[in-house]
Chain A
Amino acid sequence: MKASIIVFPGSNCDRDIAVSIKKLTDLEPIMVWHKETSIPDSDLIVIPGGFTFGDYLRCGSIAANSPIMNDVIKKATDGLPTLGICNGFQILTESGLLPGTLIKNDCLSFLCKTVSIRVENNETNFSKKYKQNEVINIPIAHNEGNFFANEDTLKKIKDSNQIIFKYCNQNGEVNNETNPNGSIENIAGITNEQGNVLGMMPHPERATCEITKLSDGENLFKSISEFLL
């Protein structure tokens, strides 16, 4: 089984993702350069974080139009599990695979810290190893992580249980004070309607090794692994 990690100019979390995948799943990570036009046979696609194309125009907008994205869109639409983290989430919204978009943090600064997020839906293939409403600690590192969607889109997202993670405090309280970046309803991660595409701003791959003293990201990779077996 293989996981294709898409690498763009400016991707910088691709190797961390590969390390996490090797450690926590039975998937063999393979790097796929963005200029390729087709993804090799894979069981998972990952779009890693970074600053693709220098975040020019809008974060993720240029990467979303890279040659490889036609096949990513095709395979994800056909149901292949697809995970986008941070800039990967921005690329997924820009490519239309996920609803809404990510705008500048309302605090106007780049945020780089560990935050608490609450598991809002543990019935997806990305979150089944977590408990419902479990509070986990995962690092964020972004300038444009403020999730925005218009009212109609937000209603659809909520009606279909597409919200997977929300920013909270250690006690799991979700409110304005526990919202680091201004995201609507503290949204930190959503899936598409089918549930096979997940985008999230926090970095689970940065919470999978002893050096960081964080391990709450492990269950995300274990969830994917369990589902694929």
Chain B
Amino acid sequence: MKLNVKIMPKNGVLDPQGKAIENSLSQLGFKNFSEIRQGKIIEIDIDADKDQAINIADEMCKKLLVNLIIEDYEIIFDREK
């Protein structure tokens, strides 16, 4: 079962990388955009049925993949795979 874990900085937590990207895009002449935030996506293939796989991925997030002080996460089930 292929899953994606999408990890984003929590609202209110400084995201210096997002800010740097925002500044660079402005310098390139892009306008009318705002609030760029950079996160990450982790792909995982778990040998289990969908519900089990989501539970396992959730445990992985809590134990290692995500720092809940500064990050939020979402487990995305990829139907096409």
Contacts and interface: CB of A to CB of B under 8 A. Distances in A.
B67 A94 contact: yes
A101 B65 contact: no
A182 B16 CA distance: 10
B28 interface: no
A211 to B, nearest CB: 34
Contacts of A150: 69
Given A108-B20, A148-B13, A148-B14, A61 B64 contact: yes
Contact of A104 (B17, B64, B67, B69): B17
A148 B17 CA distance: 16
A4 to B, nearest CB: 24
Report, as a range, how many residues of chain A touch the other chain. 10 to 19
A215 to B, nearest CB: 33
**Chain A contact residues: helix, strand, loop or mixed:** loop
B14 A101 contact: no
B65 A57 contact: yes
A58 interface: yes
A101 B70 contact: yes
A226 B63 CA distance: 38
Interface in B44-68: 63-65, 67
A100 B69 contact: yes
Nearest to A109: B16
B70 A148 contact: yes
Given A57-B64, A65-B64, A146 B14 contact: yes
A72 to B, nearest CB: 17
Nearest to A107: B16
Contacts of A65: 63-64
A105 B16 contact: yes
Closest 3 A-B residue pairs measured CB to CB?
A: A104-B16, A101-B69, A108-B16
Interface of A: 57-58, 61-62, 65, 94, 100-101, 103-106, 108, 146, 148-150, 153, 182
Given A61-B64, A65-B63, A108-B19, 13 more contacts: A57-B64, A61-B67, A100-B69, A103-B14, A103-B16, A104-B14, A105-B16, A106-B14, A108-B17, A146-B14, A148-B69, A148-B70, A153-B69
Interface of B: 13-14, 16-17, 19-20, 63-65, 67, 69-70
